Structure 1
Amino acid sequence: MPEVSIPWQDGVWTHPPTAAVDDGHLDVTAVEGSDAWRHTAYGFVHDTEHALTAPLAVGEAMEVSFRAPWEGQFDQAGVFLRIDDERWIKAGVEYADGHLGLGAVVTDRRSDWSVGYVDDWRNAEITVRISRWPDAAVIRAKADEGPWRLVRVAPFDPDASATAGPFLAAPTRSGLVVRFTRWARTEADESLH
């Protein structure tokens, strides 16, 4: 399957952002308090992320590239893969406690979070790729033209209809603007290594 660019207007928002300006790239302004999380450790459910999604089948991958200022606690952006309100994955970067973290939140009724620092990515264009395998989601990311890093391999229901695409959230502030520069569908990764 050759890479196919997905037009911004072909996506459907899970929750509309404050603004989304299409000028070739897509500048999206998050609503203050937006986030995605279910129960674990914090005790709350947040279901207010901004994800622009389109169908993603088993055997396909979706890539999203973006830049952001990374200034507010828990500012985040990346790719969102969703079956329904209780089964989803968000993967990308999040600014927390003075560091930029690369990771994923995998949710099946309850969320878990894996993260590692990538402070040297702060001014880079970041690309996140999520491949849908028959029994898993395989997540990779890179900064600029650097090498792909494996972020996570997580179980994912092969029989469920799912959508995926760019996402952002701003749990603690107003004014987060993420510039999405690319959204594409291609063939899923063939191997982990």
Structure 2
Amino acid sequence: MEWLNEPRSWRYEGDALVITSDAQTDFWRKTHYGFIRDNGHFFGKRVEGDFTAQVKVIGQYTTLYDQAGLMVRQDETCWMKTGIEYVDGVQYVSAVVTRDYSDWSVSPLRESPEALWIRVRREGGSLEVHYSLDGADFTLLRVTYLTPDPVQVGVMLASPQGEGFVARFEGLEIRP
């Protein structure tokens, strides 16, 4: 596993990865806001072919757009991120797919869960994104095309408008 935009503060606690995001970090391209940001934190590994990735995310979200979850990334113009995004005091399950331009889909969670499990499965060029509040019952969030080419897969964290926040990633699995 290797970093893209390594944060100033991160550590392992057993099998958990605890990261504090740096201020003003994000992954976004062009749509709606007109800017490009590629300075969020991503810790991933190269994967070829089909895979399933899953992680439990516990975040201390405090500022608009604080976000933590999984990322699948070919390069700065072709990627997908999914997880929790904090909007107006509410935790949303979120997915952004970028093929030169970013889109954004969100769904508010009924309550602010302590943790969220995220699962991404790739078959060919298709990605399925699922989430769970208990790690057992998963709900489909999104199906999208990304790329069948080799990608980097791992955890992501960003604080676009804040000074940073802490997230804990537990039980990360990336398997064929």
TM-score interval for Structure 1 and Structure 2 normalised by the shorter chain: over 0.9
Deviation at 1:146, TM superposition (A): 4.8
- Whole-Å separation in 2 of the counterparts to 1:139 and 1:145: 14
Equivalent AA in structure 2 for residue 65 of structure 1: K
Percent of aligned positions that are identical = 30
Residue 5 of structure 2: which of 15, 18, 34 is its match? 15
- Whole-Å separation in 2 of the counterparts to 1:142 and 1:176: 22
Q: Which residue of structure 1 lines up, in the alignment, with residue 60 of structure 2?
A: 69
Q: What whole-Å deviation, never above 9, does each CA across 1:102-155 have from its counterpart, x for those lacking one?
A: 1200000000001110142x2322111111111311111111235101111111
Residue 128 of structure 2: which of 133, 138, 141 is its match? 138
Residue 129 of structure 1: which of 89, 102, 119 is its match? 119
Equivalent AA in structure 2 for residue 123 of structure 1: P
Alignment of 1:14-163 (within 5 A): 14-24=4-14, 25-120=16-111, 122-158=112-148, 160-163=149-152
Give the conservation status (yes or no) of the 8 Å contact 2:81–2:96: yes
- Whole-Å separation in 2 of the counterparts to 1:177 and 1:134: 34
- TM-score if structure 2 supplies the norm length? 0.94
- TM-score if structure 1 supplies the norm length? 0.86
Equivalent AA in structure 1 for residue 93 of structure 2: L
Give the conservation status (yes or no) of the 8 Å contact 1:130–1:138: yes
User: What is the aligned-residue RMSD (CA, Å)?
Assistant: 1.3
Q: Which residue of structure 2 lines up, in the alignment, with residue 184 of structure 1?
A: 173
Q: Secondary structure at the match of 1:151?
A: strand
Give unpaired runs (5+ residues) of structure 1. 1-10, 188-193
Equivalent AA in structure 1 for residue 42 of structure 2: A
Q: Secondary structure at the match of 1:173?
A: coil
* Residues matched between the structures, number: 175
Give unpaired runs (5+ residues) of structure 2. none
- Whole-Å separation in 2 of the counterparts to 1:186 and 1:16: 24
- Whole-Å separation in 2 of the counterparts to 1:91 and 1:139: 8
- Whole-Å separation in 1 of the counterparts to 2:12 and 2:38: 25
Deviation at 1:59, TM superposition (A): 2.0
Bigger fraction of residues in strand: 2
Give the conservation status (yes or no) of the 8 Å contact 2:99–2:146: no
